[in-house]
Amino acid sequence: MRLYAEDPAEDFRPSTGPLRQFHLPAPAADLRIESGVVQGDAITPFYDPMIAKLVAWGPDRPAALARLGAALAECRIAGIASNLGFLGRLVGHPAMLAAELDTGFALRHAAVLQPPRAAAPPLALAAAALEALLPPEAAPENPWDRRDGWRLQGAGSRLVVLAEGEALHRLRLVPAGAGWTGDLELAGRRLADGILQVVLEGVAHRVPVLRDGSAVQVSLPSGAWTLRLVDPHAPVGGEVAAQGRLAAPIPGRVVQMLVAVGEAVSRGQVLAVLEAMKTELRITAPADGVVAHVGCAAGDSVEEGAELITLVAAG
């Protein structure tokens, strides 16, 4: 199996950035691991997005696939998108076990291999909340760093607000003994290598969690979710993105610019084509509108986040 820095939910679009967490299982007699990167390395747009290969052996096909599935379950990747979850579903698919394979396999079984993104389960929310509640790793002994909610009169509480796309999860938590109560019965501590011990409703779990600024990535056997910590006291509307601004999703080269200023476009229309990591990415219109600005031309190299096109509402 080839482990790639790509996002299956975005038509397998390559992903770039630092490998903030990267763990592979140990090689064994029945498992070969090949990789040229380590945790902390950057996945750049200048090379193929493959980051590792896992090869398993077994006395028959089901046994080999089961060994491969167990190895994939040990992998941890954070900081970039990857096809890890896709591969995990692939090795357990009945058609894969039966070797009923052809070039249309992924599309034919897309409903199973790429199911719609499920909402973050309670354990993911609990892990993200715990990341916000626990003191930083190796925090100095400082009374201002205490997060136990102590108050001179009455019990204090913490409001943890987690953004999941457009949805907001508001969790009111009150310190209780070694943990918290309220919207969740929660306790836990930090373990090594970015793992949190999360005790939710009395059941302990080991959960890989990566915090990058306000973003918290939580990895569970059922999938990975990125939740954003929102300051409940921040002014409303302070983070509204500019409407109609289409930016480069990753660094690359503009192969085609298919529109000009003043041109009317329709939702889903391809406006530009970007090439990166041996892949062509189609930049499409998110809604009907008119091209107000074109920020680059065919042949230009652009960085991630660079403005490509700006649309305004028609009329």
pLDDT in tens, 215-226: 898 988 777 888
Check pLDDT > 90 for residue 21.
no
* Percent of the chain residues topping a pLDDT of 70: 90
- Give SS3 for 54: strand
Check pLDDT > 80 for residue 20.
yes
126 φ, ψ to 5°?
-65, -40
* CA within 13 Å, CB half, 307: 13
CA distances from 239 to 233, 236, 242, 304 (A): 13, 8, 9, 19
pLDDT at 238: 40
Q: What angle do CA 198, 203, 207 make, to 5 degrees?
A: 30
CB 64 within 8 A of CB 87: no
Of 49, 13, 8, 46, the closest CA to residue 281 belongs to: 13
Check pLDDT > 90 for residue 68.
yes
Tell me the pLDDT tens digit for each residue of 79-119. Answer: 888 999 899 999 999 999 999 999 999 999 999 998 887 88
CA distances from 210 to 5, 19, 80, 214, 226 (A): 17, 11, 11, 10, 9
- Give SS3 for 70: helix
Check pLDDT > 60 for residue 10.
yes
pLDDT at 233: 67
Tell me the pLDDT tens digit for each residue of 252-308. Answer: 889 999 999 999 999 889 999 998 877 888 899 888 899 999 999 999 998 878 889
